[in-house]
Structures are given as structure tokens and as C-alpha cells.
Amino acid sequence: MNGTPDLAFARKILAAQPFSALLGTRLVAFGDGEATLELDNREDLRQQYGYVHGGVLAYVAENAMAFAAGTASGNRPLTAGFTIDYVRPADGTSLLARARVVRAGRGLAVCRCDVVCVGPDGGETVCAVAQGTISFAPAAAAGRS
């Protein structure tokens, strides 16, 4: 493709991820090295103590960083790997994963992400922080999310 994708295009990519549809993820910001995903805190996303499962936080952080990287390249972002550290139990009414590019080169981008819980009153609390490496692949080679 020519140039970098816009929000409408990026939303089509997210809509084409059946797993993101299953979880109800929404792309609420996309551009200029940043992307934000949002997710309602549903009963079926929880672990045995009633908090959002750590795997959901990992999923949304990974996906947000791949989208953030996607703002910086016309090629397809594929996550090479990432790290997440959990800092508080995740509850509230929804989650936001705010990712931003630290540095994007031709072949790789490094991103950071904050995952925050949004309470019933709109208050935000950081529940996890992540850092990852996203590679850029030509269209034909893209296999990973």
C-alpha cells in the first residue's frame, strides 16, 4: 500500500481479527505513533478471583503496540515479542491500552504500552505496563498478529 494507514483502515484490520471481535475490542485512537484499544470488562474475561485475566491484559497490550507500530509504516506490523508487567489487579468497567512508538525503523519498531482500568466514575488506574518489538513485513509474508 502507499503511505501509512488511517483510523478507518485500521478499524477494518481490527474487525478482521475474529479474536478481537470475540473480546469486543474497539480501536479508539490511531495515528502519529500512537494507538489506543478499549475493551469492556465482561464477566467472561475474568480469572478465578473476579479480576480481568492477565491473558486479556497481555492480548490488548500486544495488539495495541502492533497498531501503534502500524501508524509508522505502510508495511504489515507483526509482533516479534513483548514483555508485560502486572502492577495492580484489573477491575472497573473497561480497560484502555494506550501504546506509543518509542522508535520505528524500516524493519522494526519498539513500542511501550500502559494498560489502565477505568472505574465507574471515569477514574483511571494503571494495571499493567508493556514493552515490545514489532517487525514490519511485506504483504506476502505476514503471518503473525
Write out 72-104 in H/E/C secondary structure: CCCCEEEEEEEEEEECCCCCCCEEEEEEEEEEE
Residues that bind a second copy (CB under 8 A): 13, 16-22, 43-49, 51, 53-56, 58-60, 62-63, 66, 78-90, 102-103, 107-108, 110, 112, 126, 129-133, 135, 142-145
Shortest Å distance, C-beta 12 to a second copy: 9
Query: Is the Cβ–Cβ distance between 99 and 68 less than 8 Å?
Result: yes
Shortest Å distance, C-beta 2 to a second copy: 20
Query: Is the Cβ–Cβ distance between 93 and 120 less than 8 Å?
Result: yes
Shortest Å distance, C-beta 29 to a second copy: 19
3-state class (DSSP) for residue 61: helix
Shortest Å distance, C-beta 74 to a second copy: 16
Grid cell digits, residue 16:
478482521
